[in-house]
Chains A and B, each alone.
Chain A
Amino acid sequence: MWFFQWLENTSWARFADDNLKVATAFEITHYFSMFLLVGSIIVVDLRLMGLIGRRRTIGEVSAEFFPLMWIGMVLNFFSGFVMFAGDATTFAPNWVFHIKLSVICLAVIFGVIVQFQARKWGQDESTQIPAWGKGLALISLLLWVGSILAAVEVPSLTNVG
């Protein structure tokens, strides 16, 4: 726990948490980047499942959305970490927050697998997506929606955040 106490009392964490305008700016960045991140991966997942833009190849769709996904991910994790640091001792022992982080970790792992596979399948236009590939996309989609659900459950179930 000493680490979280130290983290919470660092000058930058206090500055970001105590200053209303700065805290709001990080919150806006966190939400906006989450929309970019989740929206981008959902579009690629839907394309892999064959539910969206079949006239465009998987290679094209992933080339359009993966840069957006990575920009969203970097901004989201950075802003999320700063927001966490300001209240580290409250968030660290919170069980719903643990679930949120676990779901996000799984979602990122599946997101990276989807990106790797989409590049592979996208190289050849005639490639048919196997059933397990569609299943992979469905799991990725559910995990990202689940990460939003877990995030909104933190204040709802535990009054934290």
Chain B
Amino acid sequence: MIVPSEGVVDFCNWLQNTPYALAIAGSTWAYPFVQTTHFTGLSIWLATSLVVDFRLLGWIGKSYKPSELAKSLFAWNWIGFAIAVVGGASLFSTDAVAFSRNPALQFKLLLFFPLALIVHIFVQRRTMKSWGAGDVIPRFAQLAGLMEFLLWLSVASAAANIPYFERFL
């Protein structure tokens, strides 16, 4: 576990005492609604990302080109991402100090998530420009698609472990 610096703890303390965070944390209904927002955004984000990865890997729909697929889903892919980030930040704000010390969340936000995002942007750009335009998908593109899939799986694994660590903090 990374021990957060004093500045980070002060920020988290301020964050979890903002009226917005207190309103979510103190309401029976607001927290599940924010969770639902986060999960709905994640669903759109992951489905529109993984369908391109799976197409690169040749697991689905060989009748259309990956570049067309990536271009047509681009906008909703990032809309899903924005919804997920807003929902996630709101969830974090409700108990920011404890969350900042949670090793599973640290793994998710500091390691797997940035890596997955970088690989996603790389795969998306290359698929729209060169990888997905031809009839043959390069071996490297397939590997990148598989890597992105595994990285998002790692993000989900770290996220699923967050409640287990909450009990020990």
Contact = CB atoms under 8 A, between A and B. Distances in A.
Interface of A: 20, 24, 27-28, 31-32, 34-40, 42-43, 46, 52-53, 55-56, 60-61, 63-65, 67-68, 145, 148-149, 152-153, 156-157
Contact of A145 (B36, B69, B72): B36
9 contacts: A27-B160, A35-B43, A35-B47, A39-B44, A42-B43, A43-B48, A64-B55, A148-B36, A156-B32
Nearest to A39: B47
**Contact residue range for chain B?**
35 or more
B36 A65 contact: no
B115 interface: no
B160 A148 contact: no
Given A43-B48, A145-B40, A148-B36, 12 more contacts: A24-B164, A28-B153, A32-B156, A34-B43, A35-B156, A36-B50, A38-B40, A46-B76, A53-B73, A56-B68, A63-B63, A64-B69
Nearest to B153: A32
B43 to A, nearest CB: 4
A24 B160 contact: yes
Interface of B: 28, 31-33, 35-36, 39-40, 42-48, 50-51, 54-55, 60-61, 63-64, 68-69, 72-73, 75-76, 80, 153, 156-157, 159-161, 164
B59 to A, nearest CB: 8
Contacts of A39: 42-48, 80
A35 B149 CA distance: 13
Contact of A42 (B31, B32, B44): B44
B156 A42 contact: no
A64 B51 contact: yes
